[in-house]
């Protein structure tokens, strides 16, 4: 694509008449992706960037997984701007690979970025032989993938020990202050918030449903769409598959399969209960959240900040946003995802337990209120007594008031942090 064409596309994205001429919603998203790569996304550094550069110096191949539109391609193309780029969703390219994979690879000049490798997993075996032929040549083969579980299986079987595995989620608050519970963190939405409703509608129609069909045969896509909205109404609740299946008229195994699809494509977060027995009878069901709060708001029909303020889902949306920020802070430092909640059968509940070094952890309560009270810390103190004082910090996260002071002192041994302050704290590698 020439520079003049890119400029024309970028202008077209801001022109309603041009949008109406797009053949499909997928075209809208594809052009949006090109314009963002050229004009915006390279101006917002990703926290995963230094870990990617380190991996490129140490491994022949690098794999970046994560939800569609999280910014994987842009991250790689920014790190290696002169690398050859291959979009494996292109039908012509897929046909060439099926007919003669060796000839296809012979026509490439590393370093090469293969976008959405799950569309051509057979390439991995052939690339492995090329890696083994030049084992000291680092950073030559780069892959993105939006279906984590199948992709990891292929990498494990074909590229074990040859590839670094990184995971990228949408923007975090630490990466840009434009991220918030209403918008979420998808780059296109953050950078063009006025188009959020059209973008999310396009995303759901052209990507989640397409991924669904690639992973498994869903016979009733309208029922699956209703499932997405119904699951959004369970955002932040303990997962009860039977409760979700009943209003849809489908079986519990069907719900389990649909949840698996959403996990594979990186759309939901399942937070397990803390597994250690503190002499209490614990619940065993995970809590479910949509990974992106903006997408959850869209599925719930929340279109503005005023609507979110009035919504009965405000607390759950805020809680899920905090969960996502915690996971992003871990992933962006190259760590594994590790987040739990606590609830026993007597009703004691703490929103999040965040493991820290030396078998310690943070206790976190997420409150959508703009006013904090010492009583908000009471569950954390109760759990601290049961865990033998292993909690190094007890934090109540709340929303910053528009006017007036913020508070950090909540009670002895507990602190109150605004969402912005909490985002800084969890991304500070020096805190324990």
CB 338 within 8 A of CB 328: no
**CA 344 remoteness from chain centre:** 29
Q: Where does 187-426 sit in CATH, by number?
A: 1.10.10.10
**pTM for the whole structure:** 0.85
**Domain boundaries, given as residue ranges, for the chain:** 3-39, 43-167, 187-426
H, E, C per residue of the chain: CCHHHHHHHHHHHCCHHHHHCCCCHHHHHHHHHHHHHHHCHHHCCCCCHHHHHHHHHHCCEEEEECCCCCCHHHHHHHHCCCCEEEECCCHHHHHHHHHCHHHHHHCCCCCEEEECHHHCCCHHHHHHHHHHHCCCCCCCEEEEECCHHHHHHHHHHHCCCCEEEEECCCCCCCCCCCCECCCECCHHHHHCHHHHHHHHHHHHHHHHHHHHHHHCCCCCHHHHHHHHHHHHHCCCEECCHHHHHHHHCCCHHHHHHHHHHHHHCCCEEEECECCCCCCCCECCCCEEEECCHHHHHHHCCCCCHHHHHHCCCHHHHHHHHHHHHHHHHHHCCCCCCCCEEEEECCCCEEEEEEEECCCEEEEEEECCCCCCCHHHHHHHHHHHHHHCCCEEEEEEEECCCCCCCCCCEEECCEEEEEHHHHHHHHCCCCCC
The answer, yes or no, to whether residue 84 has pLDDT greater than 60, is: yes
Q: pLDDT tens-digit profile of 6-18?
A: 344 344 434 444 3
Q: Is the pLDDT of residue 3 over 60?
A: no
Confidence at 41, pLDDT banded by 50, 70, 90:
very low
Closest CA to 35 of 59, 7, 65, 76: 7
pLDDT at residue 399, rounded to an integer: 94
pLDDT digits (tens, 9 = 90+) for 414-428: 999 999 999 999 998
For 312, which DSSP code? T
Is residue 49 within 8 A of residue 62, CB to CB? The reply is no
Tell me if the domain spanning 43-167 has CATH number 3.40.50.300. yes
pLDDT at 357: 80
Predicted local distance difference test score (pLDDT) of residue 149: 58
Question: What is the percent of the chain where pLDDT is above 90?
Answer: 60
**For the segment 357-412, what is each residue's pLDDT rounded down to a tens digit?**
877 889 999 999 998 989 999 999 988 887 776 777 999 999 998 876 666 777 88
The answer, yes or no, to whether the previous bond of 393 is cis (omega within 30 of 0) is: no
Phi–psi pair at 184, nearest 5 degrees: 80, -155
Question: Which residues, 6 or more positions from 163, have their beta carbon under 8 angstroms from its beta carbon?
Answer: 59, 60, 61, 62, 63, 141, 143, 155
Residue-wise pLDDT for 139-170, tens only, equals 999 999 887 656 566 676 777 788 898 999 99
Q: How confident is the model at residue 215 (pLDDT cuts 50, 70, 90)?
A: confident
Distance between CA atoms of residues 312 and 20, nearest Å: 35
Specify the pLDDT at position 288: 97
- Alpha-carbon distance of 93 to 232, in angstroms, equals 37
pLDDT at 13: 39
Work out the pLDDT band at 58, boundaries 50, 70, 90: very high
Give the pLDDT score at 151.
59
* Higher pLDDT, residue 106 or 283: 106
Contact 365, 351 (CB under 8 A): yes
Closest residue by Cα to residue 246 from 235, 234, 262, 263? 234
């Amino acid at each position: 694509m020439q520079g003049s064409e890119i400029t024309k596309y970028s202008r077209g994205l801001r022109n309603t008449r041009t949008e109406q001429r797009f053949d499909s919603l997928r075209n809208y998203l594809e052009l949006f992706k090109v314009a963002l790569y050229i004009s915006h996304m390279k101006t917002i550094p990703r926290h995963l960037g230094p870990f990617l550069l380190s991996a490129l110096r140490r491994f022949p191949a690098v794999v970046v997984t994560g939800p569609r539109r999280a910014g994987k391609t842009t991250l790689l193309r920014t790190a290696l701007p002169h690398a050859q780029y291959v979009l494996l969703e292109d039908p012509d390219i897929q046909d060439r690979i099926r007919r003669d994979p060796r000839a296809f690879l012979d026509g490439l000049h590393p370093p090469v970025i293969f976008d959405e490798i799950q569309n051509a997993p057979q390439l991995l075996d052939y690339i492995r032989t090329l890696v083994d032929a030049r084992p000291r040549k680092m950073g030559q083969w780069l892959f993105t993938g939006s279906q984590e579980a199948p992709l990891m299986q292929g990498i494990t079987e074909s590229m074990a020990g040859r590839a670094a595995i990184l995971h990228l989620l949408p923007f975090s608050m630490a990466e840009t202050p434009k991220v918030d519970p209403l918008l979420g963190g998808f780059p296109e939405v953050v950078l063009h918030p006025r188009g959020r409703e059209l973008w999310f509608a396009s995303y759901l129609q052209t990507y989640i449903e397409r991924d669904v069909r690639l992973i498994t045969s869903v016979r009733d896509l309208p029922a699956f769409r209703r499932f997405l909205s119904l699951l959004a109404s369970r955002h932040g609740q303990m997962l009860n598959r039977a409760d979700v299946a009943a209003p849809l008229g489908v079986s519990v195994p069907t719900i389990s399969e649909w949840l698996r699809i959403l996990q594979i494509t990186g759309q939901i977060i399942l937070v397990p209960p803390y597994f250690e027995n503190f002499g209490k009878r614990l619940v065993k069901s995970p809590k479910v959240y949509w990974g992106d709060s903006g997408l959850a708001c869209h599925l719930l029909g929340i279109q503005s900040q005023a609507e979110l303020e009035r919504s009965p889902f405000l607390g759950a949306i805020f809680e899920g946003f905090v969960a996502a920020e915690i996971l992003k802070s871990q992933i962006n430092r190259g760590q594994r995802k590790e987040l739990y909640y606590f609830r026993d059968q007597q009703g004691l509940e703490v929103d999040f337990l965040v493991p820290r070094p030396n078998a310690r952890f943070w206790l976190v309560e997420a409150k959508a209120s703009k006013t904090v009270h010492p009583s908000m810390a009471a569950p954390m103190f109760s759990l601290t007594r049961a865990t033998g004082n292993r909690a190094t910090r007890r934090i109540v996260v709340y929303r910053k008031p528009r006017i007036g002071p913020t508070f950090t002192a909540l009670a002895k041994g507990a602190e109150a942090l605004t969402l912005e302050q909490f985002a800084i704290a969890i991304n500070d590698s020096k805190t324990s």
